[in-house]
Amino acid sequence: MSTEQTLREAATNRDFRIGAALAARALRSDPSYWKAARNEFNAVTPENALKMGPLRPSPHTYDFTDADAIVDFGRENDMYVRGHTLVWHNQKPEWFQAWDYTDDQLRKFLRDHIHTVVGRYRSSIDAWDVVNEAVADDGTLRETVWYDALGEEYLDLAFQWAREVNPEADLYYNDYGADAINEKSDAIYDLLERLLERDVPIDGVGLQFHALAGRPDPESVAENIRRFQDLGLDVQITEMDVANAVDDQPEDPLAEQADYYREIVEVCLETDCDTLVTWGVHDGSTWLRNFKDFSKRYTDDPLLFDDGYEPKPAYDAVKGALSGTDRS
């Protein structure tokens, strides 16, 4: 039996959370997936199961089966559980059409949703992505159903409703493309500053970190993390994966991927950003294989384990950075 420590052990020894997004179906059907998730990670995020669409098969019913399976798995295995996500413009239920509701009804709808879902997991979810991707790529507030009905105040309300039901959970704003200092992270910074000025109960910001083609500059990532921390917010990396444009790949993609993961873990350690969740357990479960035409645009091996659950160079790099044995 190998005595070498797992990634989970390396992270736990360092008071660091290394996580993976999970799917209930794979947990139930694939023992290797279950084992890798349990042995190698100390944090989990349901990849889809807690979103409004999967949770709500019809206007007056909820189906918590998949979400419960993942949250229970996390709790039973002593993991940190991130809830993703309460308010988003995507993955809404198919039956949900904004024009069926007045603005007041939408407000009530959202309040009921947040109260029900946060309430169910009051003692089992540690942190919530309360609002996901509210800022558009040009830095303006995204025109979603919630924004159209309630204006910017929908963010205030969402955080307040979540806090009302679970005063213990940490509440995050989560977004992509804002990992380093850029126009979008500037806009998110301004937004969160406004929320804090209005005493909205927000605890942190999640940087998704889908490095699909570009590689946000590590120094700029560190600067970005620090400026949010200076606002009094916690910062977590919530959905990391590292791919390449299919038509623009480095000479040694696995080595380059490993180096980049290591650099970002080192940024986390330097900045006291203590949580990094990868968006899947192994390459066989990456969203890039099943999402729109992404599999044609990006390479589909962005995670720490390969299709056969063998640890990749990126796994060794992350573990090495966490255990202090790999500082190259």
Catalytic site positions: 133, 239
Q: Looking at 71-79, 104-112, 283-291, 301-309, which segment touches ligand G3I (CB under 6 A)?
A: 283-291
Contact between 128 and ligand G3I (CB under 6 A)? no
Using the rule CB under 6 A, which residue among 11, 27, 40, 47 binds ligand G3I?
47
Contacts (CB under 6 A) with ligand G3I, residues 147-186: 176
In whole angstroms, the minimum distance from the beta carbon of 85 to ligand G3I comes to: 6
In whole angstroms, the minimum distance from the beta carbon of 286 to ligand G3I comes to: 8
Contact between 291 and ligand G3I (CB under 6 A)? yes
Q: What share of the chain is helix, strand, coil (3-state, %, to 5)?
A: 45, 20, 35
- Whose CA is closest to 273, among 317, 240, 305, 302? 240
Contact between 239 and ligand G3I (CB under 6 A)? yes
Using the rule CB under 6 A, which residue among 65, 102, 290, 325 binds ligand G3I?
290
Contact between 42 and ligand G3I (CB under 6 A)? no
* Cα–Cα distance measured from residue 233 to residue 121, given in angstroms and rounded to the nearest whole number: 23
Neighbouring C-beta atoms of residue 115, cutoff 10 Å: 15
Contacts (CB under 6 A) with ligand G3I, residues 249-278: none
Nearer to ligand G3I, 210 or 319 (CB): 210
Element spanning 265, H or E: helix 253-271
Q: Looking at 95-103, 246-254, 266-274, 287-295, which segment touches ligand G3I (CB under 6 A)?
A: 287-295
* Cα–Cα distance measured from residue 13 to residue 126, given in angstroms and rounded to the nearest whole number: 20
Contact between 91 and ligand G3I (CB under 6 A)? yes
Q: Looking at 3-11, 153-161, 251-259, 285-293, which segment touches ligand G3I (CB under 6 A)?
A: 285-293
Phi, psi of 211 (to 5 degrees): -90, 80
Residue 271 CA: distances (Å) to CA of 15, 37, 41, 236 = 14, 26, 21, 11
Contacts (CB under 6 A) with ligand G3I, residues 194-213: 208
Paired tokens of 13: 């020894």
User: Assign residue 203 a region: left if phi > 0, alpha if psi is -120 to 50, beta otherwise?
Assistant: alpha
Give me Rg for the CA atoms of the chain.
19
Residues that bind ligand G3I (CB under 6 A): 47-48, 90-91, 132, 176, 208, 239, 287, 290-291
